[in-house]
C-alpha cells in the first residue's frame, strides 16, 4: 500500500509538474469557462418581457393558482370598465385611445395568462405534487448546451496517453519495473492518477457550467420543475432543474472513470498518442450514433452517461440508477483489462 501511495504521488508529480500537465488542465478549465459563458444567454422571457416583469413585481417570481386568480381578477376589472362604458358617448379621441390601449393590454395579458395556465396544467399532469412555475422559462437554450462534456473528454484524451506512455516513450519503464515497487503497483498507480485527474476534470468542468448558469439566472429559476423546460415535458424525473443538474453532474463524473480506463487500455495497445485520440473519438461518435438509434439499449454505451442533460431527458430514476451501476461495472471491467494488458510481460 505504501509503495502504491509513493508511486501514485510520483506519477501525479511527473504528470502535473515535470511534464507540465497543469498547463493542459488550466487550458481545459478556460475552454470550459468559454463554453459556459458562450452558452449562457442573457435572461429572457417567453412572451413579453415587460409583462412578466410586471407580474414578478406584483405577485412574486412564482406562478401559482393564486396568482392566476389575481391576474384573472385584474382582467375582469378591465372587462367591467369596458363593458360599463358606453362607447357611443365617448367623443374625446384621447379617451378612445386610452381605452383601446387598455383593451389591447388586457388581451395580451389574457394570452400570457393562458400560456402560463396551460404550462401549469401540463406540469400538474406529469407531476404528483403542486408544481412551481416561474415567469422566466428560457432555461432551455442553456440546458441544451449542458450536454456532452467535450472539454473534459479532450483533456482526458491528451493527458491519459501522456500518463500511460510517458515512461515507455522516454525509457524510464525499463528501470522502474525492476524496482521493488514493481510493474503492478506502478500500473495501478497510473490508473489511479488517471481516474483522479479524469474525475476531477469532469467535476470541475460540470461544476463550472453549473455555477455560471446559477450566476446568470437566479437560484429561483433553478427550482422550477425540469418539465417546465421545453423539450423536457416528457422527463420522468420528479425534480427541479437544480436536482437534475446535480444528478447530471454525478453521472458525468461517474462516466469519466470508465473513459479513463478505456483510454488507458487503448494507450497500451496502440502505443501512439494520435492513434489513441482517433480511436477514442471514433468509438465515442459511433456509440453516440448507435445509442441515438437504439434508445432501448443506449445505457450500455459510455457516451450516454457523458452526454449530460439528454440522459436526464431520456431515463427514469430507476434507469439512471442502472446507468450508474453500469458505469461502475464498466470501470471495474476496463480497469481489470487495463491491468492485464499493461502488466502483461511480453
Partner 1 sequence: MLCFKELNKKYGSFYALDNFQTELDSGIYALLGPNGAGKSTLMNILVGLTAPTSGEILFDGKNTEQMGADFRAKIGYMPQYPGFYPGFTAMELMRYMADMKGYPRKERDKRCLELLESVNLTQQRDKKIKTFSGGMKQRLGLAQALINEPEILVLDEPTAGLDPKERVRFRNMVRKLSEKMTIIFCTHIVSDIETIAKEVILIHHGKLVQQGNIPALIKEMEGKVWEILPDADELELLLEQYPRSSLVSRNMQTVLHVVNDEKPHNDAHACEPVLEDVYLYQFGDDSV
Nearer to partner 1, 20 or 272 (CB): 20
Nearest distance in Å: CB 31, partner 1: 25
Minimum distance of partner 1 from residue 268's CB (angstroms): 15
Site for partner 1 in 7-66 (CB under 8 A): 7, 10, 14, 18-20
Please state the closest distance from residue 344 (CB atom) to partner 1, in A.
Answer: 8
Residue 80 or residue 179: which is nearer to partner 1 going by CB?
A: 179
- Residue closer to partner 1, measured from CB, 89 or 180: 180
> What is the 8-class DSSP label of residue 218?
-
Measured distance CA(115)–CA(65) in Å, rounded:
13
**Minimum distance from residue 19 beta carbon to partner 1 (Å):** 6
Asked if 1 interacts with partner 1 (CB under 8 A), we say no
99 touches partner 1 (CB under 8 A): no
Q: How far is the CB of 198 from partner 1 (least distance, A)?
A: 22
For partner 1, the closer CB: 123 or 162? 162
Sequential DSSP letters for 196-209: HHHHHHHHHHHHHH
Site map (CB under 8 A) of partner 1, residues 169-188, x = contact: -xxx-xxxxxxxxxx--x--
Q: Is 182 left (phi over 0), alpha (psi -120 to 50) or beta?
A: left
Q: Read out DSSP for 60-110?
A: -SEE-HHHHHHHHHHHHHHHHHHHHS-GGG---HHHHHHHHHHHHHHHHHH
Cβ neighbours of 57 (radius 10 Å): 9
Neighbours of 254 (CB within 10 A): 21
Residue whose C-alpha is closest to residue 162's, from 262, 254, 263: 263
Site string for partner 1, 138-167 (x = CB under 8 A): ----------------------------x-
Q: What is the rounded CA–CA span in Å between residue 239 and residue 225? A: 6
Query: Is the Cβ–Cβ distance between 116 and 68 less than 8 Å?
Result: yes
Nearest distance in Å: CB 181, partner 1: 5
Number of H helices, E strands in the chain: 15, 2
Size of the site for partner 1 (CB under 8 A): 25
Q: Which is nearer to partner 1, 178 or 295 (CB)?
A: 178
C-alpha cell at 318: 430507476
Which range in 5-13, 128-136, 214-222, 317-325 contacts partner 1 by CB under 8 A? 5-13
Residue 150 or 177 having the CB closest to partner 1: 177
Which residues of the chain form contacts with partner 1 (CB under 8 A)? 3, 6-7, 10, 14, 18-20, 166, 170-172, 174-183, 186, 345-346
Amino acid at each position: 500500500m505504501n509503495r502504491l501511495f509513493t508511486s501514485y504521488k510520483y506519477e501525479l508529480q511527473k504528470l502535473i509538474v515535470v511534464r507540465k500537465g497543469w498547463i493542459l488542465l488550466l487550458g481545459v478549465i478556460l475552454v470550459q469557462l468559454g463554453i459556459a459563458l458562450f452558452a449562457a444567454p442573457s435572461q429572457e422571457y417567453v412572451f413579453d418581457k415587460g409583462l412578466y416583469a410586471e407580474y414578478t413585481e406584483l405577485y412574486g417570481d412564482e406562478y401559482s393558482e393564486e396568482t392566476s386568480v389575481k391576474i384573472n381578477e385584474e382582467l375582469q376589472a378591465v372587462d367591467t370598465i369596458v363593458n360599463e362604458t358606453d362607447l357611443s358617448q365617448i367623443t374625446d379621441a384621447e379617451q378612445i385611445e386610452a381605452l383601446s390601449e387598455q383593451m389591447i393590454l388586457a388581451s395580451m395579458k389574457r394570452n400570457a395568462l393562458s400560456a402560463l395556465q396551460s404550462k401549469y396544467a401540463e406540469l400538474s399532469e406529469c407531476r404528483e405534487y403542486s408544481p412551481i412555475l416561474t415567469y422566466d422559462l428560457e432555461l432551455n437554450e442553456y440546458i441544451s448546451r449542458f450536454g456532452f462534456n467535450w472539454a473534459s473528454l479532450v483533456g482526458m484524451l491528451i493527458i491519459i496517453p501522456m500518463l500511460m506512455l510517458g515512461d515507455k516513450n522516454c525509457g524510464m519503464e525499463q528501470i522502474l519495473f525492476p524496482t521493488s515497487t514493481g510493474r503492478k503497483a506502478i500500473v495501478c498507480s497510473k490508473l489511479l492518477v488517471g481516474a483522479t485527474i479524469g474525475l476531477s476534470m469532469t467535476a470541475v468542468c460540470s461544476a463550472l457550467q453549473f455555477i455560471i448558469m446559477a450566476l446568470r439566472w437566479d437560484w429561483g429559476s433553478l427550482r422550477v420543475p425540469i418539465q417546465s423546460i421545453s423539450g423536457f415535458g416528457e422527463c420522468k424525473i420528479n425534480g427541479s432543474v437544480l436536482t437534475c443538474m446535480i444528478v447530471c453532474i454525478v453521472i458525468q463524473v461517474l462516466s469519466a472513470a470508465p473513459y479513463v480506463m478505456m483510454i488507458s487500455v487503448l494507450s497500451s495497445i496502440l502505443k501512439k498518442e494520435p492513434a489513441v485520440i482517433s480511436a477514442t473519438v471514433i468509438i465515442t461518435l459511433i456509440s453516440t450514433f448507435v445509442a441515438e438509434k437504439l434508445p432501448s439499449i443506449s445505457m450500455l454505451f459510455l457516451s450516454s452517461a457523458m452526454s449530460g442533460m439528454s440522459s436526464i431527458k431520456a431515463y427514469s430514476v430507476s434507469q439512471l440508477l442502472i446507468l450508474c451501476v453500469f458505469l461502475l461495472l464498466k470501470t471495474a471491467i476496463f480497469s481489470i483489462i487495463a491491468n492485464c494488458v499493461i502488466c502483461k510481460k511480453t
